[in-house]
Structure formats: C-alpha cells, structure tokens
Amino acid sequence: MSMIEVAGLRKEFGRATAVAGISFAVSEGEVFGLLGPNGAGKTTTVRMLTGLLQPTSGSATVAGCDVRRQRQRMLSSIGVVFELPALYPRLSVEENLRLSGSLRGLSRGDVLAAMERLGLTEQRRRPVRSLSKGWRQRTMIARAMLGQPKVLFLDEPTSGLDPNATAFLHDLLRSLRDEGVTIFLTTHDMVEAAELCDRVGILSRGELVALDAPAALVERLQGRSIRLTWWEAGSLREASIPLADPSTPAFLEEVLAQRRILQIETTGTLDDVYRNVTGGQEARA
C-alpha cells in the first residue's frame, strides 16, 4: 500500500519554478530519501506534502488523505521535523511537549512515553534554549512522534549534527521503520542515504532525475568499478577497471601478488550517481 502518492506536483513562486511537476510513491514502512543540491526543491516538496504550502498544480495523498482537501485529517496521521527549531526556547523540554500534546488532545502519558523513547527524561526540566542542537532536535522529534504518526517527515535531520547524534537518529529511524512507520527524509549526505534509505529520489532544479533503491541506481547509472594506480615497467599507470569485467579478478590478483599497487579505490557510489545526475550543479539561492 502506498502511504505517499505524488502526481505531477508543481510549485511556482512568481515566475520561478521550485518544483517542476514530480511524481512518485512511497510504500508503507519504507524509508524514502529525497536528495538534491541546495535550492533543488526538497523543502518545498516537504512543505507541500505536509499541508504547509499549496501546490500550484498536481496532487498528493499522504496516509490516504488528499493534502489539499483533507488537510486536517492528514495532519493527525503525520509528524514533521523541520530544520529550523520551532520550539519555545524559554519553556522546558517537557513543557514544550505537553503544550503540543494538549493541543492535540494527548495525555501526559503520551508525553512521558515520547520523552522516554528519545532519551529525554533526564533533560526534561531544562529550558530548550540551554540545549545543544542535538538535544533540541530530539525534542522536536519527540514532539513529531507524540500522536504516533503513520508517516514521519524530516527535512535535513542530520545536517549539523555530530556523529553520535547522527547515529542515535539513524537507529531511531530504523526502529520506527521496523514498527511500520513510513519515513520521508531529505538529506545532502549520500553515505547516509545509501545506508538508511530503501529508495531515494534525486531532485535537480525541481525535476526528479533519478528514483530507485540506492544500489539499483549505482548499478544502472554508474556500474561499480575500481580505480587503480600501479607500477608497471618503471612508470605509474592508472585505470578504472569495471568490477563486472570477467578478466578483472585475475588482473587484480596479479598486481596484488607482485605488490605493484600504489592506490586502490572503489567508485560507483551513490555520491557518483548524484554528481552524475545533478551535473555537479551549483547551489541555487
């Protein structure tokens, strides 16, 4: 079953096209990553899918609700974590969560459970403004998870986080996925996307230029190969050798055995695909 269905979704700001009519679907329990350079249209897409921005044209359903016509019902099935903190800085972690919870008719037990899950219990009395970025983000995620959403949207959730905070978030997202929550995130980090996402879409200037499982994109668009630098007859040689080539294993064995390799590097990562399909595009404003 599709939890997110997008058909010809488009957004224009004046004469500028931010999202140029994109179509895709995300299944229940899938982790979907929307990738692309700055200004590609990722945030605009998330804002349209979460009812914060009216599409210029096209349609989208999230958790079975039309984002234009059934916005209120849709909002009760989703959680959203945006890049900019949207918390009351003087209020404590718990006060922020209880305020959001009460607006949504949730009990104190729901708030306690969300804090527990995010490891926030010990920090719950601290004002949000005294927290580091990682802990503020945990508070935002706890808030997004309060109503036990079916779909969780996260816009660049790991940008600016340290490696421990990133690892915590990845583990959390995986366990939510295992519980059947559908996760839609945006990221610049290709390693993260390749590790975490079941499928990715790559946006470039508002167009969806690639859409598949990370490994399938690498396979189809790039093909894995090994970049090798080795000594031969007194001079340095360099070549990109396709892994699929039948003669590759024997060749590698030979240069390895003779200890002639200077440098060895695999290419054909999601990063290569990304640079390929976005054409090394400069960021837009």
Ligand X SMILES: Nc1ncnc2c1ncn2[C@@H]1O[C@H](COP(=O)(O)OP(=O)(O)O)[C@@H](O)[C@H]1O
CA angle (147 as vertex; 146, 151 as ends), nearest 5: 105
Q: Using CA atoms in the order 130, 134, 137, 143, what is the torsion angle rounded to 10 degrees?
A: -80
| Contact between 205 and ligand X per CB under 6 A | no
The answer to whether 97 and 142 have CB atoms below 8 angstroms apart is: yes
Applying CB under 6 A, does 36 fall inside the site for ligand X?
yes
Q: Return the residue of 9, 44, 62, 93 that touches ligand X, per CB under 6 A.
A: 44
Span of 41-49, 93-101, 173-181, 255-263 interacting with ligand X by CB under 6 A: 41-49
Distance CA 233, CA 235 (A): 6
Asked whether position 43 contacts Mg ion by CB under 5 A, the answer is yes
- As measured in angstroms, the least distance from the Cβ of 273 to Mg ion is 20
* Residue 40 binding ligand X, by CB under 6 A: yes
Nearer to ligand X, 82 or 168 (CB): 82
The type of residue at 202 is: I
Three-state SS at 133: helix
Residues binding Mg ion: number (CB under 5 A): 2
Take residue 89 and report the two structure tokens written for it: 């800085």
For 189, the token pair is 């980090």
Interactions with ligand X, residue window 5-24 (CB under 6 A): 13, 16, 18
Q: Which is closer to ligand X, CB of 45 or CB of 100? A: 45
Comparing CB distances to ligand X, the nearer of 41 and 79 is: 41
One-letter amino acid for residue 247 of the chain = S
Assess 44 for contact with Mg ion (CB under 5 A).
Answer: no
Other CB atoms within a 10 A radius of the CB of residue 239 amount to: 11
Tokens for 8? 């010809």
Partner interacting with residue 41 (select from Mg ion, ligand X, none; CB below 5-8 Å by kind): ligand X
Tell me the pairing of strands 207-212 and 199-204.
antiparallel
Q: Does residue number 41 form part of the binding site for ligand X (CB under 6 A)? A: yes
Least distance to ligand X, CB of residue 203, Å: 6
137 binds ligand X (CB under 6 A): no
Q: Rounded to the nearest whole angstrom, what is the least distance from the CB of residue 267 to ligand X in the complex?
A: 26
Closest to 191 measured CA to CA, from 219, 211, 163, 210: 163
Q: Which of 29, 39, 64, 127 binds ligand X (CB under 6 A)?
A: 39
Tell which residue, 2, 35, 12, has the closest CA to residue 156: 35
Residues at the site binding ligand X, with contacts judged by CB under 6 A: 13, 16, 18, 36, 38-44, 284-285
